[in-house]
Amino acid sequence: MTEDWQHPYVERIVSEARRPVDLDPAARDRLMSLVRMEPAPRRSTRFSRLSRANRVRDLFRVRSLVLSPAAGMAFAAGLVGLGVFAGALYSHRDGRFTAAGQPPVVAVSNPQLPVSDTVVQFIVMAPRANAVSLVGDFNGWNAAATPMRPTSRAGVWSVTLPLAEGRHLYAYIVNGSQWMADPGAPIASDDGFGHKNSVILVRPGAVL
Amino acid sequence: MSSRFARSWIPVACAALLALVATAPRAAAQDTDPLAKLDATSRFAVEAIMDSARVDGLPVAALRSKALEGVAVHADDRRIVSVVHGLFSSMREARSVLGPVNDPDLEAAAEVLSAGVKPEALTSFRDAPRGRPLASAFTVLVDLVTRGVPRDDATSAIVKLWRSGARDADFYGLWNSVKSDILEGLNPGAALQNRVREFPGRAPGNTLTPPTGQPESPSS
């Protein structure tokens, strides 16, 4: 069996193609001079080689990102830190969300204060107290929410705050731990936790 | 091997991270909710009670406040659930006796029941004239019982005053007098009997006027 390339015609073509070509030296010089006259091509970049459509397609091409486990965990830790930082920056301690740096609203001049609110002054005598605070259903029983201030009279503590119309339970916390009902107000029934609370009824423009 | 391992875990890690980043602010907000200090079971129980109250049209704020108070005094979680449920039961019972009343009156009536007064005693206050608040009468009744006045005596005295058309100032006047007598050492029951005689009967149906004057401290 004879191979195709061993065909006599093929051999003839091959031999013809391999025949040395006599090149005029002057022709070579002319060719090189023309090449030198051409401006130097700009350095090609990845994007310049691509057409516009290919560029866009290249942006959406799926690529696989390979990371070592250590690098992946470092990346994850960074993202978690970013999330925690963002959460702390954009949320208040009471859970309300607002932009950072927003100035606080002064309650006294707040035009959105409900008209049904009545400003109530609480006064209690606690001569040996270092600190007294007011807790009640109006501040979530938070001892840090409504601290009382000593008045000019020795041992007398006071605080003023607006209360909505209705019935409120409250108590005083003396020196951060001692729960005390208001001796000048009606007592509520046992609160179920072993403490006594006081009752205040707020009516428009008056308290009972 | 390592690159295959990394490739398989990166999507999972990214998904977990996205979930963390998305929920971080919400988690921070939950940390500030005092009820979040309850264990999951107790918190679920408290919220279930509040949901029931909402369905029944009972004041949910009072229940939440009671739970918050328990958290503030570091009460046991089970105790908090029990107390909140007790308040819910009292309010529901008070509603069944009194009918539709406003929230302050209902909360005060629940306190009356919590103080050990029989629900039948509340029937005298049913169908109160419109605009006549019950809260002051109930508040004084609870205070008297808490100070040691026999429940039946205190109940009958308050009911008598109520039927005679007593006003808020009358109830508070009685309370102030009895309290002073008790502090001076008088027997609570006797103090009430002495003072209640000083209040002449009023014609039922008198128009009630709210107390006038500047807001003042509840302390005297």
Reported ipTM: the value is 0.76
Q: pLDDT category, A61, cuts 50, 70, 90?
A: confident
Query: Least CA distance to A178: which residue of chain B?
Result: B73
Query: Least CA distance to B82: which residue of chain A?
Result: A192
Q: Is the dihedral of CA A70, A74, A80, A84 positive or negative?
A: positive
Q: Residue A202 and residue A168: Cα distance in Å, rounded?
A: 8
3-state secondary structure of B171: helix
Q: Which of residues 1-40 of B touch A (CB under 8 A)?
A: 2-3, 5-7, 9-10, 13-14, 16-17, 20-22, 24-25, 27-30, 32-34
**Token digits for B185?**
């050492």
Count the Cβ atoms, other than its own, within 10 Å of residue A185: 23
Using the beta-carbon criterion (under 8 Å), do A79 and B17 form an inter-chain contact? yes
Residue A97 pLDDT: 32
Residue A118 with chain B: CB contacts under 8 Å: 215
Please list, in sequence order, all residues whose beta carbon lies within 8 angstroms of the beta carbon of residue A162, skipping any fewer than 6 positions away: A107, A113, A117, A118, A119, A120
Residue A100 pLDDT: 31
Residue B86 with chain A: CB contacts under 8 Å: 192
Task: Yes or no: say if B111 and A189 are a contact pair by the CB < 8 Å rule.
Answer: yes
Query: Least CA distance to A77: which residue of chain B?
Result: B17
**Token digits for A160?**
């003023």
Q: Which of residues 112-151 of B touch A (CB under 8 A)?
A: 112, 114-115, 133, 135-136, 139-140, 142-143, 145-147
Query: Least CA distance to A167: which residue of chain B?
Result: B104
Which among A136, A207, A163 is positioned nearest to B216, based on CA atoms?
A207
pTM of the predicted structure, to 2 decimals: 0.63
Task: Yes or no: say if B154 and B139 are a contact pair by the CB < 8 Å rule.
Answer: no
Please list, in sequence order, all residues whose beta carbon lies within 8 angstroms of the beta carbon of residue A107, skipping any fewer than 6 positions away: A113, A162
Domains in chain A: boundaries:
68-101, 118-207
Q: Residue A5 and residue B208: Cα distance in Å, rounded?
A: 124
Using the beta-carbon criterion (under 8 Å), do B142 and A186 form an inter-chain contact? yes
Domains in chain B: boundaries:
36-98, 99-205
Q: pLDDT category, A46, cuts 50, 70, 90?
A: low
Ramachandran region, residue A41 (left: φ > 0; alpha: ψ -120 to 50; beta: rest): beta
Q: Residue A32 and residue B140: Cα distance in Å, rounded?
A: 116
Pick the CATH number of A118-207 from 3.30.70.3400, 2.60.40.10, 3.30.70.920, 3.20.20.70: 2.60.40.10
Q: Where are the alpha helices (DSSP H) in B73-150?
A: 77-98, 103-114, 135-146
Nearest CB among A69, A119, A204 relative to B210 is that of A204
Which among B186, B105, B196 is positioned nearest to B155, based on CA atoms?
B196
Query: Phi/psi of residue B185, each to 5°?
Result: 110, 5
**First-last CA distance in chain B:** 81
**Token digits for A62?**
């799926």
Q: pLDDT category, A86, cuts 50, 70, 90?
A: low
**Token digits for A47?**
């994007």
Encode pLDDT of A2-19 as tens digits.
Answer: 455 678 888 888 888 888
Q: Residue A197 and residue A191: Cα distance in Å, rounded?
A: 7
Encode chain B (220 residues) as per-residue pLDDT tens digits.
Answer: 455 655 666 666 767 777 766 665 555 555 578 888 889 999 999 999 999 999 999 999 999 999 999 999 999 999 999 999 999 999 999 999 988 888 999 999 999 999 989 998 888 888 777 667 888 899 999 999 999 999 999 999 998 888 888 888 888 888 989 999 999 989 999 999 888 887 765 433 333 333 333 334 444 3
- Cα-Cα-Cα-Cα torsion B37, B43, B46, B47, nearest 10 degrees, comes to 110
Nearest CB among A72, A84, A186 relative to B9 is that of A72
B170 touches A at CB < 8 Å:
no
Q: Residue B90 and residue B99: Cα distance in Å, rounded?
A: 13
**Token digits for B93?**
């019972």
DSSP letters, A84-143, are HHHHHHHB-TTS-B--TTPPPPPSTT-TTS-TT-EEEEEEEE-TT-S-EEEEETTTTT-T
